[in-house]
């Protein structure tokens, strides 16, 4: 499983570029990558389609995990 950030960086995309592809702001992408927010089901489908992976292949860091790792 890979995170949105990993998938994005593997393609050399910025948060702005990914946001444009998904119709969201770069701040939204940033918040997903930091574990501050989890994408909705519709957004998750779009993310998976954009990266050419299954929705189950995307790993999300929960807000609790990101705080304990700090």
pLDDT in tens, 43-52: 999 999 999 9
Q: What is the mean pLDDT of residues 29-39?
A: 95
- Whole-angstrom Cα distance, residue 4 to residue 45? 13
End-to-end CA distance of the chain: 22
- Whole-angstrom Cα distance, residue 23 to residue 43? 9
pTM: 0.83
């Amino acid at each position: 499983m890979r995170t949105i950030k990993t998938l994005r960086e593997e393609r050399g995309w910025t948060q702005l570029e990914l946001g444009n592809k998904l119709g969201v702001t770069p701040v939204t992408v940033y918040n997903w990558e930091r574990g501050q927010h989890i994408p909705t089901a519709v957004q998750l489908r779009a993310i998976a389609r954009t990266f050419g992976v299954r929705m189950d292949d995307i790993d999300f860091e929960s807000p609790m995990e990101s705080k304990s790792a700090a």
